[in-house]
Structure 1
Amino acid sequence: MTGTYGTSGKSGTTDRTGLTPRVSQPRALASLRERLRDTFWFAPTVGLACAFALWWALSEVDTKIVTYLKEEEAYEELGDLLSFAEDARLIVTTISAAMMTFIGVVFSISLVAVQMASGQLTPRVVRIFVRSRISKLTLTVFLATFAFSLLVLTSYEGGAAANPRRITSVPVLQSMLTLVMVGLSLLLFIAFVSSTLRLMQVGPVLDRITGEAVRALEHQPGGEHGETLLGPATAWVVYRERAGVVRDVNVARLVRAARRHGVVLRLIPRTGDFLVPGTPLLAVHGGAAPPSRTLRHTVGVGVERTVHQDPAFGLRQLSDIALRALSPSVNDPTTAVQCLDRIVQFLSVAARLPLGQLHHRDRRGDVRLVQEVPGWPDLVDLAFEEIRGHAAGSPQVTRRMLAGLDDLLLLAAEERRKPLLRHRALLVGAVERTVPEAAGRAFALDPDRQGIG
């Protein structure tokens, strides 16, 4: 390698046990899985394909059953099957007509829930409904039941009035499965309504956002945190594709490309940054830039941010909900306190994890990719800066924020306490300037985990 660089190796804060938390390796096809979860068409499409395949398989089995009974000359049993099929035919016909109404009800409930949640909280929570597994499963089963019932109707050959000796197939198994799918649809409808009602409440929405953000924080792309001293950049890779937000980074492909060409790559934008064509994407250290074809599809760009590989986006959503709750038009400090509860939860996890610049190594242990990720001061500023500016006039929020900062000061290592102390001092100063009465200031600056318990 022609470039000169040095690395400090693994660094970062340690938890109370003295062990540096391990950063998990990314799972294969994780980016594809996340992109499919952000769509609402994939699961219903797969469900319709499975319904057709299942109908074809069961129709073959029903045909073989009729053929066997005719070979055995069991016409009495065949007549019983025809009688059952005729009874089931009326039910299947009713089901095929009713399922579209059921599907319309599901969509109506979903749209109302999305509208209420985005209006009361933030438009960014719409992605929670899009990613909801129960919503996708309910719609998938409903559509599959509707399509399957229509296919079953094509398998009838005249019902009980038909001559058993001329019948080639009786949709017995198909009709029974249709009834089972209807029962499953009813159960899923109950679960869907229950889940949707929960997602219309503040607490479950905040819990979902925090859970996704914490999982993204604990499962960062594998690498080591520390400071890397790189020589001057010898080449630049310019972004040439459509504008959008950096959603994910294919670390393995970038490391392979850097290893094959004997260079070190430094990713300039962070996950969540907005990329414009013509701006620098990668800085190359130690040689010429790899060919563009080897770097294709290494950085995923989309319309909006996702929590995948971007845990700060979860913190951004919590801050947005708190800011809307503190706006004069809403004036809901209790929701802001709930957001602060989750913000403190997120930062308590981040306090024991190594943060900052990520180094990705090849098989020989050489640093091949340097990636910037949010550090501890970045997360603390994102969590408290904007909320603190709107909280000085609400004692419920200032008391909860002070209690949260005090808790984080106990959990954070010594080198991470400075940004927490800075925000605490700024909050105290803002309250002293806003509240003229001494008694009011003393009350607003009394830490309380419930705000005003």
Structure 2
Amino acid sequence: MVNILSLVRRIFNSISFMTFCIALGFGILAIVLVITSPSLLNDYPQLAISDKDSVKFILTFTIGGIFTLTIFSYTMVMDVLNRSISNYSPRLIPLILKEKHHQIILGVTSGTIIYCMIMAAFVSGKSSDQFPSVAAPLAILMGIFNILLFIYFIHSVSQSIHVNYVLRKSFSNTKNAIYHIKNLPFEMTSEEKSKDFWEQYVSMTQCGYLNKIRIEKLIGISEEHDIQIKLLKKMGSFILENQPVIAVSRQINESIEQKIKRCISIDRGEPIDVIEVGLKHMVEVGVKASSPAINDPGTSLMSIDYLTQLFLLRKELPEFNTLKSDKGGVLKMDMVSYHKLAETCFLEMETYMKDDPVLKMKIFESKGIIGL
């Protein structure tokens, strides 16, 4: 059951899910028009196209034109990904691919092709004496809309190549992760670590990175069943198969265990929504830009500036290892301390940027700002 839920969650969060749904919607629209053959243009006969050869020509022309635009769009996306891998960090690629407007554009272009192919197959049939008069005008409107989307797509992709856009996207993603923890409606306390006795451990059957946990849901389970829950691994850690991830303060039945497992997200890819991983990505971009192969100190300076702002936001989070609700729910989870995280990130940058006096001075200034 958990594996099925994990698969459903992975499909739902896939970068191709929205594209597939939009394309499927266009296909369903074509099938509905074929089956029902609605007379939507009876009041506007000048817009209706009922000549079979004309309809076939319009559909064929639209398919060829959209195919050309789609191929060019995919080529541009591949070029952006190649540039991003070469100049920034390959682990930033999911942030670019998660752009919703890119998925919508690719979904509309793919859906238009599917719509025209279904309509063309129906019109070409020997037994098709009647066909919806709205089929060809709708294909023309879709073609015009696709051209407008293609113009916007060129503008959007040309912007996404810029390093400032990529860094800003990574910054915003990490900033939102910090605010999500900061705005949790629970008491954050730092309790001394004691030799707590945990009655039962919950493990996952698949391996991967610990990307997300549903904190509110876990504390709700703790309140409902009067148990304390402890997250044994830090966010972003790699979880081995059948390795314990959760510990509970008393024995629980299979139903409660399944509820707890559904609150844990184990992903195959690197967890880009984890605060520590987002900070690490900023460091990687700065370090790679300062290398002799790239030789782009301006990008390194920009990454240090964004990193400084993120650490100022991270500093506002209290150091805690326990979350408590007003109704008695308890969730214990360890986070990487602020000073340890800052020291690790800036030490790595100092190691690779020590030969550049400007970057060296910038790192020194940033460390003073964040109180390191």
TM-score (ref. length: structure 2): 0.85
* Aligned positions of 1:119-158 closer than 5 A: 119-156=86-123
**Alignment match, 1:406:** 368
Instruction: After TM superposition, give the deviation of residue 253 of structure 1 in Å.
Output: 4.1
Indicate the SS of the match to 2:206: coil
1:265 aligned counterpart, secondary structure? strand
User: Which residue number corresponds to residue 27 of structure 2?
Assistant: 52
The superposition leaves residues 330-378 of structure 1 with CA deviations (integer Å, 9 ceiling, x where unpaired) of 33322211110110121222233334324042xx521421122333224
Tell me whether 1:343 sits opposite 2:310 in the alignment. Answer: no
CA-to-aligned-CA distance 1:72-94 (integer Å, 9 cap, x gap) = xxxxx979845677545422211
Partner amino acid for 2:60? T
- Once the two structures are superposed, what CA deviation does each residue of 1:45-89 show, in whole Å capped at 9, x if it has no partner? 2112211232244446644459x79xxxxxxx9798456775454
| Counterpart AA for 1:320 | E
Counterparts of 1:283 and 1:80 in 2: how far apart (Å)?
67
Note if 1:43 corresponds to 2:18.
yes
2:297, 2:258 → 1: CA distance?
Answer: 52
Partner of residue 141, structure 2 = 180
Shift of 1:154: 3.8
**Cα distance in structure 2, aligned partners of 1:381 and 1:390:** 14
Other structure's SS at 2:123 match: coil
Q: CA RMSD in A?
A: 3.2
Specify whether residues 84 and 395 from structure 1 end up closer, same or farther in structure 2 by C-alpha distance, changes over 3 A only.
Answer: farther
With over 3 angstroms needed to count, the CA separation of the structure-2 counterparts of 1:94 and 1:358, relative to structure 1, is: farther
Q: 2:80 aligns with which of 102, 113, 123?
A: 113
Within 5 Å, which residues of 2 pair with 1:23-422?
35=10, 38-59=13-34, 62-64=37-39, 81-82=48-49, 86-156=53-123, 168-169=130-131, 171-220=132-181, 222-229=185-192, 232-285=196-249, 287-289=250-252, 291=254, 292-308=257-273, 310-361=274-325, 365-408=327-370, 417=371, 420=372
Separation in structure 2 between the aligned mates of residue 330 and residue 80 of structure 1, nearest angstrom: 57
Instruction: State the alpha-carbon separation in 2 of the partners of residues 88 and 194 from structure 1.
Output: 33
Distance 1:187 1:168 in 2: 32
8 Å CA contact 1:38, 1:130 repeated in 2 = no
| Residue 191 of structure 1, CA deviation | 1.8
Give unmatched runs, 5+ long, in structure 1: 1-30, 70-76, 160-165, 409-416, 421-453
Offset at 1:274?
A: 0.8
Corresponding residue of 1:163: none
Q: Provide the rounded CA distance (Å) in 2 between the counterparts of 1:116 and 1:37.
A: 28
Match of 1:404, as an amino acid? Answer: S
Q: How many residues align?
A: 362
Q: Distance in 1 between matches of 2:289 and 2:359?
A: 11
Task: Determine if contact 1:223/1:358 at 8 Å carries over to the other structure.
Answer: no
More displaced, 310-319 or 48-57?
Answer: 48-57
Query: C-alpha distance in 2, partners of 1:366/1:294?
Result: 18
**Deviation of the 1:33 alpha carbon:** 11
- Seen in structure 2, the aligned counterparts of structure 1 residues 393 and 37 have a Cα distance that, compared at 3 Å, is farther
Deviates further, 56-65 or 217-226: 56-65
- The answer to whether the Cα contact below 8 Å between 1:316 and 1:383 also exists between their aligned partners in 2 is yes
Contact 1:340 1:404 in 2 (8 A): yes
Give the letter aligned to residue 239 of structure 1: S
Residue type matched to 1:369 in 2? Answer: L
Name which one, 1 or 2, has greater alpha-carbon Rg: 1
- AA paired with 2:114? A
Residues 48, 137 of structure 2: 8 Å contact kept: no
**Compared CA separation, residues 118 and 58, structure 1 to 2 (3 A):** same
Distance 1:207 1:65, change over 3 A: closer
Q: How has the CA–CA distance of structure 1 residues 173 and 80 changed in structure 2, closer, same or farther, with 3 Å as cutoff?
A: closer
* CA distance 1:38–1:65, change in 2 (3 Å): closer
Q: Secondary structure at the match of 2:134?
A: helix
- Distance (whole Å) between structure 1 residues aligned to residue 54 and residue 319 of structure 2: 66
Who is 2:3 aligned against? none
* AA aligned opposite 1:400: K
Distance in structure 2 (CA, Å) of the matches to 1:116 and 1:109: 11
Secondary structure at 1:344 match in 2: helix
Indicate conservation of the 8 Å contact 1:264/1:284, yes or no: yes
- Structure 2 counterpart of 1:251, which letter? I
Pair 78,324 (structure 1): closer, same or farther in 2 beyond 3 Å? closer
| Distance across 1 between alignment mates of 2:118 and 2:180 | 45
Distance 1:228 1:212 in 2: 30
* TM-score, L = length of structure 1: 0.71
What is the alpha-carbon distance in structure 2 between the residues aligned to residue 222 and residue 272 of structure 1?
23
Identity of aligned residues (%): 17
8 Å contact from structure 1 (residues 264, 368) kept in 2:
yes
| Residue identity matched to 1:406 | G
